[in-house]
Amino acid sequence: MPRFFAGDELGNIKIAIAKLTAGLSDGTASTFFLRDSDALEVTHQWKETRLRNEHRYVGLETFEKGTFTCTSNGALRFTRLNVPDPAEPLLGALPTRLHAWEMSPNQSTFAYGGDEVDVSVWDTERAFLPRPQTTDAENKKRKRDALFPEELWRAKNVSNDNLGLRQPVCVTSLTYLAPSSASHHLVAGTELGNVRRYDTRAARRPVADWNVGKTNGIKALKKGMSEHEVFVSDQGCNLFALDLRNGQVIYGYKGLSGAVTSIAPSHSVLATCALDRYVRIHSTFSPPQHAGQQQERKGEVLEKVFMKSIPSVIVWDQAADATSECAAEDDDVWETMETTEVYS
C-alpha cells in the first residue's frame, strides 16, 4: 500500500525522494530527511522574511537540488539543499493575492493564480533573474495586459455573462495535466465552481469550461493517474472524479462531513484530508474507455483516521506500490501518518 504524509493547519508539506519540506504560518520552513526508521531529521531551516501576518504559503515543491516556495503575497524563493555550505537563496517577486501556485513536472515553468489574478505561466529560470530597471514613464505606457519579462503566457478572462457583466477572476487551485516536456495543459478551479482547462498553445481563454462545484467554489483539484481524469472537491462535502473529455462526473464519494482541502492520487488508491480532521483512503477506478459511457462502479471510503489537528495537505511519497504486503505493514502506514502530522 502507498505511504502518505499529512500536515496540519500550521503549514504545508511536500515530499520528493526522502525529503520532506514544511512551511509554517510564521514564515519558517524546514527540510527533513526521512530515515528508514520513519524518524525525521532536520537538515535545513530558513525563514521567509517577506511573509506578513495576513499571508501564507500557497506552494512548496521539493526536488533533489532544492526547494521552491511561494507565498500569497508573491514572495518566490529557491533554497539550495545539496551544497556543502549554506548558499544564498534565489529570490523572485510575483503578483500578490495568490491562492494557488504549481511547479511543472519538468521544473521549467510554474503557474499561479489568485484573487483577480488569472492563470499565468512563468519561466522558472528567468523568474529569478534581476528585472531591468524601468522609469515611471515606461511603467505608465505599459499596457495592462502586457506580459512581464519572465512571463510566458497569461489567461484571458472568460466572456461576460448573460447580463453583459464582467465575470470576477478568482483562481483557487491549479494542476498540470501531463508530464510532457512542454507542459502546455493546465486545469484551474475557481471560486464560482468552474473547472477550466487551458492549452497555452491554442488560446488564452479556456478550451473547456465546466461549472461542476455543487457547494460554492472549487476547494482542491488534482490530476489522477489515469488519462482524462482529475479529482475535484468543492467548498462543501463533495469529492468526485471528473472526465476531462466532456466535463461529466465519472463517480463521486459519499460519507464525507467536511470540505476536502488536499488530494493525493496514487496508482492504487486516493488519499484526502478534510476540515472534519479526517484523513481518508478511497478506492479509484479508471474512466470509461469512451466519453459518455456510464461508470458502473462507485468510489468508496476504504479507511479513515482522525487527526489531532485540522490537516491542510496530504502527499504521496511517490514510492511504487508493493506487490504484496501484510496487514501489519498496513498498520505501520497509519502509524507513520499520525507521527508525521505531529512533527509538522
Task: Look up the domain containing 70 and give its range.
Answer: 4-343
Q: What is the pLDDT of residues 42-97, one digit of tens each?
A: 778 888 999 888 899 999 888 878 889 999 999 999 998 776 666 789 999 999 99
Q: What is the pLDDT of residues 19-36, one digit of tens each?
A: 567 777 777 887 777 666
Strands 19-24 and 11-16: antiparallel
Sign of the C-alpha dihedral computed for residues 106, 107, 109 and 115 taken in this order: positive
Q: How far apart are CA 74 and CA 55, in angstroms?
A: 10
| 8 Å CB contact between 78 and 89 | yes
Q: What is the pLDDT of residues 216-259, one digit of tens each?
A: 899 999 999 998 999 999 999 999 999 999 999 999 999 899 99
Q: What is the pLDDT of residues 192-205, one digit of tens each?
A: 999 999 999 999 99
CATH of the domain at 289: 2.130.10.10
Total domains present in the chain: 1
Q: What is the pLDDT of residues 282-319, one digit of tens each?
A: 999 999 888 888 777 888 999 999 988 888 888 887 65
Q: What is the pLDDT of residues 106-163, one digit of tens each?
A: 899 999 999 999 999 999 999 999 887 766 666 665 677 789 999 999 999 999 999 9
pLDDT band, very low/low/confident/very high, at 340 (cuts 50, 70, 90): very low
Q: Which of 93, 94, 90, 71 is closest to 23 using CA atoms?
A: 71
pTM beyond 0.85: the answer is no
Concatenated DSSP letters for 225-290? Answer: SSTTEEEEEESSS-EEEEETTT--EEEEE----S-EEEEEE-SSEEEEEETTSEEEEEE--PPPSS
